[in-house]
Structure formats: C-alpha cells, structure tokens
Amino acid sequence: MDLFNKYKKLLEEAIKAVHERKFFAAFPEQPSPKIYGEDADEEGRKKYESHLGKRFEELLQQGRASWGGSEQSPYLQEPLNITYPVTPVDTLIANSEKAFEQWRKITLEDRAGILLESLEGVKNRFFEIAYATMHTTGQGYMMAFQASGPHAADRALEAIAVGYEELSRFPHSAFWDKPMGKFNIQLEKEWRAVPKGIGVVIGCSTFPTWNSVPGLFADLITANTVIAKPHPGAVLPMAIVIAEIQKVLKNNGLDPHICQLAIDDNASLISKELAENDKVKVIDFTGNSEFGAYLEGLKGKQVFTEKTGVNSVILDSADDIDKVAANLSFALCLYSGQMCTAPQNFYVPESGVDTPNGKVTFDEFAQKLKENIQQLIGNPKAAPFVLGAIQNEKTYKRLSDIERSNKVLLKSTTLENPMFKNARTATPVVLEVEAEDSDLYGKELFGPIALLIKTKSTAHSIQLAKDLAISQGAISCGAYTINPEVREEIADQMALAATPVSFNLTGAIYMNQNAGFSDFHVTGGNPAGNASFTNPEYVLRRFTWVGHREPARV
C-alpha cells in the first residue's frame, strides 16, 4: 500500500503545525471556484438534492434491519425524507468486533494512509456536505461549508497527526543491556500500542461533522474500530463522511465495518445501549451535560465529552468601545448563538467601562450593543446568512420564555430569509441582569441570548466568570481591557478555570472562532468537557502501551 507515501509530506507538515501552533490549514476554507472548481458548488447542491426523499444506499455495511431517518430542514421546516440503514446494536458490535481483528493488525503507516485518503474523498464532497449541514443544522451557507468541510477535515487531520506522533514516540523494540558486575543481563524488549476496542462517537445536532470527526479519526488512527451515531436531526453530513471512509477501506481490501454508521430516532435512542455494551471501550460525545455526566460515570470506558458551558465576556476597558460592541454583537448573532463558543454572559461594572475618552456607562454600553445588533439584523444582505436558522424548536421557545419574566433590553424577532420563506429564525434577545440573579445567568441558555450583568467592579466580573466556569464549565471567554495588570489577572484566573480568553478582539475575528492546529478546544479543566481538539491526551487514552521482553539470543 503506497497511500502512506502519498500523504507523508502532509502528515509531517501537520505534525509540525501542531507543535508550532502558527496558522496552518490543509483544506482551503473559501468555497472558491478557483480552488474547488467552477461547478463544485452547483454539483454539490445537486448531489445534496439527489438524496432527498431517497434511501442513502452508499454505505457498505451489513445487517440492516430497516430503513429510518427523521431529519428536518430548519430552513424549510419540512422533513428531508432521507432514510438510512438501521442496524441493530448487536449487529453493529458483532461487525465491529470482527473488523477489529483485521484493523488492529495493519501497520500504523497503512492506517494513516487510508485515513488521509478518506479525507481526500471527503474533500471532494465538501459542497454536498455543506448543503447537508445547512438543511440539518440551520447554519448559514458559509459556516456550513467551512465548519463541516475544511475546518472539520483540518481537525480530523490534526487528530491523525497527533495520533501518528504519539504512536511513534516509543520504540517498537530495544536491546536492554544491564551491567551486573561480573556479567550483563541482556533482554530484547518490544512495545506494542494496543487499541482499547470499539469506539462510539455520538454527535450533536448543530455541528454534525466538526464535533465528530476528531474522535472518529482519533479512534481509527489508534487502531480501534468505530461506530458513529449522529444526532437523529443531523445524519446526512456524517453519512457522507462514513461512506467515503468505507469506500477507501474496501478499495484497499479491508473490511468496511471498521467504521460504521448507527442510526436512531428521537422515539428510540440507542446511545445508552451502545455506550453500555461491554465491547465499547471509548466514547466520544457532544451534547447535553446530563447525558455527558452519565457517560463519564460508566466504568471501564475512556470517555471524551463536550458538554454545555457558560461563556463569559469581561468588559473592563477599551480603546474603541464602538468596535467592541460591533465585534460582540456579531459574535452573538453568528449562527444565532448556537455555537458552543458563543458568548452569553456580559459582565459590565456598574461604574461602566473605561475608555481614553472617559467612562462608558453600563446603560451606554447596553445601548451600543443593542444598536449594533439592530444594525446587523437590519441588513438584509448579511443578516440571514450570519444568523442562519434555529436548529431546534426548543431553542425558539426558550427565547419567548425568557422574555416573559426578565428585564428585556432588546426583544427577539424573526428574520426574513429571502431564499427560505419558511425558515425558523430568531434574532438575539438582550436582557439586563443583576449580579444577584445567578439563578438566571448561572446556567447555559442555548441560543441567541445575551445577558448584561451589572457587577461591582472588574474584579467582581472576573470572580463571577471564573466561578461559573469552574462550576458550570466554559469553552471560551472574551475580555476587553487596556490595563496590563487587569489583563494578567484575567489571563491567570481564567486559566485556573481552564478557559481560553480572547482579549480585545475587534474586526473580523470573533471569540466563537477556533482554529485547528493552533487553538486547543475544551482541554478538560472544567465541567464543559475534555474532548480536546487535539492534545496528546485526546489520542493517548485510546490505546495502551504493552511491553514484552525476553533474554537476548547471544
């Protein structure tokens, strides 16, 4: 198999990038015809449309019991009517166990080559995946392309790279020669990196590939077999990814069941049955904290979670408060606050925010944020694409509930989408909250919800943000300060809460954004989870080093 050599240079570059943590991307993020071909977008859209109302027949897996699927487009608010092979859990496990005996015995280089070839196959379907993502998650076109396509593929490559490096970090064999005075003890030693068994990757409804492919490829590079169980609301993007992997496995004479798709629906979820199966040793999960905590409590499993968190913005001082308000309002509107990195709690001291032109009061800042949001949502050329649609009916309902019983600075409205008249949309709601109302702001309120919290001081803001990150988890933090001592205090205290801080972002970069090969994502120091894209621990726990030894033949 010469696939490894085909991708060796890419793999080396990726490993280098992981350690340098400068900008690196193997998959271009612009859906540009120059890069991806003149007709790529149009063809991708047509391929997406060709799935609608049909059976997804591409998978190479055996043992189907029936066909099922329950996806709905948030843009059309109607079912996609795509069905997928529904395979009983016992069959999935039996398939996987059998495939495990094959997969664990091929070399690391061969595994790496196959996985990198699979990513190349996925790349050819980025546009199809983008439309599949739009119509399952409600993301705008650009985000759907970037997050589910190149960014997800880069995160998958990162997992392959880190896995490859960790598996190569200790020798396969060594000659151990111990002087004992009158003689030497000489042993031949060998080390094997033993996969844990079967991995299960449970996906979420908002980022179906971005949150799932790192765990999937981390399982595979470390020689585990894997069963991906997407959220029933967002199956198609992962089905396409898995079809591509299965195709490459088959083309290389391997069992496609090394990587399988599991399907369930909201009426009969199979995640527990999968997770509790004895043969399942590794679990990756993105979703709610309750189910994540249940998974973390299972004995004898390596569990990687990305659960909920409360992301804070600490406002202390700024050179240009208008640019701050503009940046934050965009961060809030982006995919209607449905990103795990979106800001929710904005801590503003009751004395206001320092600027070179004097204090900006709490109310003035609130007004600026409100105006910036109104300006953005009032722009029909931008707003529908930035905000996208609301994936889940529950998110929609949360907005009206919260408006009923709190001090509303800006009410949520719907937003007309020129392409999809029936899109489920909602603009951000902004509330004013007292620091005492921790019942309100002390939990994740998923969706486009901003809480402006009046604190006693910046020190108080830091304390609240830190405490919440420690108790409820946090995945990102924004902070604005031009005071170096305050900056270090925020950096230090939020680091203790394991929360990465984006300082003083203005312009076209937002605290929500997270770059492969540079930003670690959810490194495990607070309750938001430990599914770190991608640090060494994220791959190390998927295999075990075992060393054997024997007297050397001399």
503 forms part of the interface with its own copies (CB under 8 A): yes
* Sole binder of its own copies in the list 504, 512, 528, 531 (CB under 8 A): 504
- Show the beta-strand stretches assigned E in 196-325: 198-202, 225-229, 259-261, 280-286, 302-306, 312-315
Distance CA 129, CA 134 (A): 9
Residue closer to its own copies (CB basis): 178 or 404 = 178
* Residue 536: CB minimum distance to its own copies, A: 6
Give Cα separations from 323 to 265, 316, 330, 430, 510 (angstroms): 44, 14, 11, 18, 12
Distance CA 149, CA 124 (A): 10
Residue closer to its own copies (CB basis): 70 or 518 = 518
Q: Count the site residues for its own copies by CB under 8 A.
A: 69
- Show the beta-strand stretches assigned E in 154-208: 173-179, 184-195, 198-202
* Sole binder of its own copies in the list 30, 251, 268, 414 (CB under 8 A): 30
Report how far apart the first and last C-alpha atoms of the chain are (Å, whole number). 35
* Residue 367: CB minimum distance to its own copies, A: 25
Q: Answer yes or no: are the C-beta atoms of 526 and 498 closer than 8 Å.
A: yes
457 forms part of the interface with its own copies (CB under 8 A): no
* Sole binder of its own copies in the list 189, 247, 443, 460 (CB under 8 A): 189
Pattern 470-499, its own copies, x by CB under 8 A: ---------------------x--xxx-xx
Q: Which of residues 149-168 bind its own copies (CB under 8 A)?
A: 166
133 forms part of the interface with its own copies (CB under 8 A): no
Pick the closest to residue 416 from 75, 144, 45 (CA basis): 75
Give the β-pairing of 543-551 and 184-195.
antiparallel
Residue 34: how many other CB atoms lie within 10 Å: 8
* Residue 194: CB minimum distance to its own copies, A: 5
Pattern 166-185, its own copies, x by CB under 8 A: x--xxx--xxxxxxxx-x-x
* Residue 522: CB minimum distance to its own copies, A: 10
Question: At 468, is the secondary structure helix, strand, or coil?
Answer: helix
Pattern 275-314, its own copies, x by CB under 8 A: ---------------------xx-xx--------------
* Sole binder of its own copies in the list 523, 529, 531, 533 (CB under 8 A): 523
Q: Answer yes or no: are the C-beta atoms of 535 and 159 closer than 8 Å.
A: no
Distance CA 115, CA 108 (A): 11
- CB neighbour list of residue 308: distance below 8 Å, 6 or more residues apart: 288, 289, 340, 444, 446, 472, 473, 528
* Residue 22: CB minimum distance to its own copies, A: 5
Which positions touch its own copies (CB under 8 A)?
19-23, 30, 166, 169-171, 174-181, 183, 185, 187, 189-192, 194, 196, 296-297, 299-300, 491, 494-496, 498-509, 515, 518-520, 523-525, 527, 532, 535-537, 540-541, 544-551
